[in-house]
Amino acid sequence: MANGDEVSNKQVLFRDYISGFPKETDMILSTTGTIGLKVPEGSNSVLLKNLYLSCDPYMRLRMTQSATYNPNFVPGSPITGYVVSEVLDSGNSNYQKGDYVWGFAGWEQYSLIENPVPSSLRKISYTDVPLSYYTGILGMPGLTAYVGFNKLASPKKGESVYVSSAFGAVGQLVGQFAKMMGCYVVGSAGSKEKVDLLKNKFGLDDAFNYKEEPDLTAALKRYFPKGIDIYFENVGGKMLEAVLPNMAPHGRISVCGMISQYNLEQPDGVPDLSHLIMKCVRMEGFNVSYHYHLYPEFMEVMKQYFMDEKLVYVEDTVEGLESAPAALIGLFTGRNIGKQVIKVSHE
Amino acid sequence: MANGDEVSNKQVLFRDYISGFPKETDMILSTTGTIGLKVPEGSNSVLLKNLYLSCDPYMRLRMTQSATYNPNFVPGSPITGYVVSEVLDSGNSNYQKGDYVWGFAGWEQYSLIENPVPSSLRKISYTDVPLSYYTGILGMPGLTAYVGFNKLASPKKGESVYVSSAFGAVGQLVGQFAKMMGCYVVGSAGSKEKVDLLKNKFGLDDAFNYKEEPDLTAALKRYFPKGIDIYFENVGGKMLEAVLPNMAPHGRISVCGMISQYNLEQPDGVPDLSHLIMKCVRMEGFNVSYHYHLYPEFMEVMKQYFMDEKLVYVEDTVEGLESAPAALIGLFTGRNIGKQVIKVSHE
């Protein structure tokens, strides 16, 4: 056969567009597919063995037909997202057999990335850390934290920083960037275990469980009696509503995500946006896909931090494509403790 | 008598804190007060004859006890706001009898500005335009338009600009700044008369009556098929809700005011703020009081525009303190055609 012997290629397929809360059954494990482990003769394609899949909140947006954030998932086709992979075969001079790469591919054991291979399929050269880190702290979520905090929020030493979803893939890093900048940093998360880790392992100045706060506005007033200079927004809705009256004059809100809103049929209305006026607050949304020109700079910064042992990072890894649907759904109940990764194959 | 002969000094007093829509009867015309027309012997105070009073939407916020925008009005004391005045007597070397000034004072015929006279009481040196312009186009609203559009919104030639409340004191100038910058500019207002003036007198590319649009989101889609690069926000609430899905990628929203919200017991919730993320939109609130260092620069720009006859400006002037309460209330029903001014005395 032209493409070499066919092997089994398990896949996680997207069933159909949804509204409301996603369920495991919105995804289907398919065990019937096969794939050849060679790229077609004379092609410029790349054949990947996928090692790690990334679960990220924005993926929920792609399950709705009207999504504008990314291309929608295609019913009957594999879920797609960020992966870390090994190159098994390549007709493309930029990639060699044995390279490790990270980028966008399907939730499947093997992916054929057809020509033109997107430049967003990046070769991994720094391997002093686990390869899975390229789904998180050294991948899209890491760059997201770097751009949203260090670049857009204009942080200064001594400022007060609040990070919601502080134990998520992005939040973990934002909190540490803020501490290294010399800020006072408080994070929120959804369980005692996460809160304890934020305080004791990540060294935040304080942390709280938002589920145990009947009045979020009052809670924030307690942690920030002089106001919040920077809010790193991962949650939206009622959390943002509680933050607005607690912002300090000339505060900045980096709007990275709004996970509380993605499953709602009717998004929460946020009142009192006039606080933006009275306190001269800048609220800036961003989509990291516009900022990949900063990735080399980000990697230099991160390599130095890793060499200096300045970073802590917690992953929550499940094994096998079979576990993938539950892992993705778990993001929206906060089941994961740290960055949610799916290990598909051994390196 | 130390302060010279006492003369009658009519005042408009604030009755008491309110919620909901303000009424004329929330203000009281007092005709019983008197004042001496000399500053106290040996004092550094300044005595003003008030010529023009400014009606501005933010004043509503000062009628609520919880207001944080400015000091609240004081029940039983005069309403305060921006005024244009003539100096009748001065013990302060910075001001001479006969000077014209603009700044903050009471709604009354004469005001004694006691030592220390605030530096925000500014002498008027450029008098080639009506003095009343210093309540608007050359005063606080003018600087507001300049800062909010030219400085914060980062406008570029060819961009698409939407201005709500485009016939208000600030909006009139924003639309003209945007046209001079080479932008495509659409404004909204609340009557056919205002819309016609925006199109024919102010030279906007288009304008519409928001009261006649059953679906504001669809209306904006019609005027901005490729999206809005800059929204100058004067209205808030449902208008902002309609703008968000119509923003273009990398759009900017300068949040100057939210007049639709000031009289509501429960402010409108604005859903779909996640458009800020998907389109990388920056939304920035500002309070012009932090930007007065730009006033000299602004005046140089404006004098040149006036010399070149590049500016149009429409005032709606009522006569006498008796007319002041109705004039202020009229802002919130859109009764005024252009900047609302109250003429108190002849120059």
pLDDT digits 0-9 by tens, A187-225: 999 999 999 999 999 999 999 999 999 999 999 999 999
Separation of CA A148 from chain center: 13
Distance CA B237, CA A274 (A): 10
Q: Where are the alpha helices (DSSP H) in chain A?
A: 140-145, 169-180, 192-200, 216-223, 238-243, 275-278, 295-307, 324-330
Q: Do B258 and A274 touch (CB under 8 A)?
A: yes
Q: Taking 70 as the threshold, does the pLDDT of residue A82 lie above it?
A: yes
Is the CB of residue A236 less than 8 Å away from at least one CB of chain B? yes
A284 SS3 class: strand
Is the CB of residue B255 less than 8 Å away from at least one CB of chain A? yes
B210 SS3 class: helix
- Report residue B65's pLDDT band, with 50, 70 and 90 as the boundaries: confident
CA dist list (Å): A192 to A195, A209, B327: 5, 6, 57
Of B250, B261, B285, the CB nearest to A279: B285
- Report residue A115's pLDDT band, with 50, 70 and 90 as the boundaries: confident
Where do the DSSP E strands lie in chain A? 6-8, 11-14, 27-30, 34-36, 46-54, 80-90, 100-106, 110-113, 122-123, 160-163, 184-189, 206-209, 228-233, 247-255, 282-285, 315-319, 339-343
Is the CB of residue A203 less than 8 Å away from at least one CB of chain B? no
Is the CB of residue B272 less than 8 Å away from at least one CB of chain A? yes
Q: Do B267 and A271 touch (CB under 8 A)?
A: yes
Q: Do A258 and B271 touch (CB under 8 A)?
A: no
CA dihedral B134, B136, B137, B143 (to 10 degrees): 90
Could you report how far apart the first and last alpha carbons of chain B are, in Å?
27
Q: Which residues of chain A have a CB within 8 Å of the CB of B153?
A: none
Q: What is the DSSP letter of A236?
A: -
Q: Which residues of chain B have a CB within 8 Å of the CB of A258?
A: 273-274, 277
- Candidates B50, B84, B53, B48; CA nearest to B326 is B53
Q: Do B277 and A255 touch (CB under 8 A)?
A: yes
Buried b (16+ CB within 10 A) or exposed e, A241-269: bbbbebbbeebbbbbbbbbbbbeeeebbb
Distance from CA of B329 to the nearest CA of A (A): 20
| CB-side neighbour CA atoms (13 Å) of A208 | 17
Q: What is the pLDDT of residues B137-146, one digit of tens each?
A: 999 999 999 9
Is the CB of residue A285 less than 8 Å away from at least one CB of chain B? yes
- Quick one: tokens of A199? 């305080």
Q: What is the pLDDT of residues B266-319, one digit of tens each?
A: 999 999 899 999 899 999 999 999 999 999 999 999 999 999 999 999 999 999
**CB within 8 A of A71, min separation 6: which ones?**
A62
Distance CA B278, CA A286 (A): 7
Buried b (16+ CB within 10 A) or exposed e, A69-81: bbebbeeeebbbb
Is the CB of residue B290 less than 8 Å away from at least one CB of chain A? yes
For B266, name the nearest residue in chain A, comparing CA atoms only.
A271
* Mean pLDDT along residues A268-286: 95
A87 SS3 class: strand
Percent of chain A topping pLDDT 90: 93
Q: What is the DSSP letter of B152?
A: T
Distance CA B284, CA B327 (A): 30
Q: What is the pLDDT of residues B170-199, one digit of tens each?
A: 999 999 999 999 999 999 999 999 999 999
Percent of chain B topping pLDDT 70: 98
A181 SS3 class: coil
Buried b (16+ CB within 10 A) or exposed e, B121-140: bbebeeeebbbbbbbbbbbb
Is the CB of residue B238 less than 8 Å away from at least one CB of chain A? no
Q: Taking 60 as the threshold, does the pLDDT of residue A1 lie above it?
A: no
A136 and A313 in contact (C-beta within 8 Å)?
yes
Q: Taking 80 as the threshold, does the pLDDT of residue A120 lie above it?
A: yes
CB pairs under 8 A between A and B: 106
Of A250, A258, A285, the CB nearest to B280: A285
Distance CA A110, CA A78 (A): 11
Of B261, B271, B284, the CB nearest to A274: B261
pLDDT at position B224 is 98
pLDDT at position B68 is 60
Q: Which residues of chain B have a CB within 8 Å of the CB of A236?
A: 273-274
Place of tokens 């928001």: B210
